[in-house]
Structure 1
Amino acid sequence: MKTLFVSYRVTDLDRSLGFYTALGYTELGRVQADEAGHLVILKFPDEPAASLELVHRPGDGPVDVGSGFDHLAIHVDGLATTLEKLTEAGLKPGSLQYPAGPDGPKTSWLTDPDGYRIELVEWPSGHPDGITAADFT
């Protein structure tokens, strides 16, 4: 397993983009979604794929530091096997999902004791181990 990217909800997208680009991140792409808000995908120039997602939901008001974290995504090689192991260990992962259809990634969700959501992802064969610019073309 390895971490894919971290996702943070932000109050002011322009201010946050200014900060993260000053830190060295570059914008990989954007997703405009109604209920999910506006997403901006970032990576460092030497990274092959995204490592940070900024989530902006203007209707939700200012971010509360205690609830500003959206989710953590973790890459797994075999999601079905991973879900079995997690269940055997006493955890309660969600069911296997295909959010982009049968040829897309397989996902499942898990919630930690504090309520933070974790997305488990198995990429299709041949797909890089993360989101890349090709996913936006």
Structure 2
Amino acid sequence: MSSGMRWSHVALNCRDLTATQAFYQQWFGFHRARAVKLDDGEIVFLRHGDVYLELFGSSADKRIVGTADGPPDPGIVRHLAFQTDDLDGFLERAASLPVSLGPLSFDDFLPGWRSVWLTDPDGVVVEVSEGFHDDEAIAV
């Protein structure tokens, strides 16, 4: 990888740009970093630290149906993922959000690793986990 290369963003198509923006702002701490006006709407960039989401308004109503942790089809993003230090606290605050799977414990792989999957206003699966960390034996 080039030394000048770094992560940029994930782009999401949204049926309701306002609802999707509010979801990521309220539940994951994103803020509006830029909006680009188009003839038929706008593109909104949300930022949280070094992570950006690029939101596109879309009139299409096609949903990709997959498993509770996201669509399994090659070439389709399975889910977005966020980490928290307090999954139970997040779940208390987010009790109104639709949970598609979990919470599940992955103690057999990594003690203390737990995850829950929910969906955003457009049906994109979002994972929230606690306790995951790199394997120090293989991390570079």
Sort the TM-score into its range (normalised by shorter chain): 0.3 to 0.5
Structure-1-length-normalised TM-score: 0.41
Report the structure, 1 or 2, having the larger helix content: 1
Higher relative CO (CA 8 A, sep ≥ 6), structure 1 or 2?
A: 1
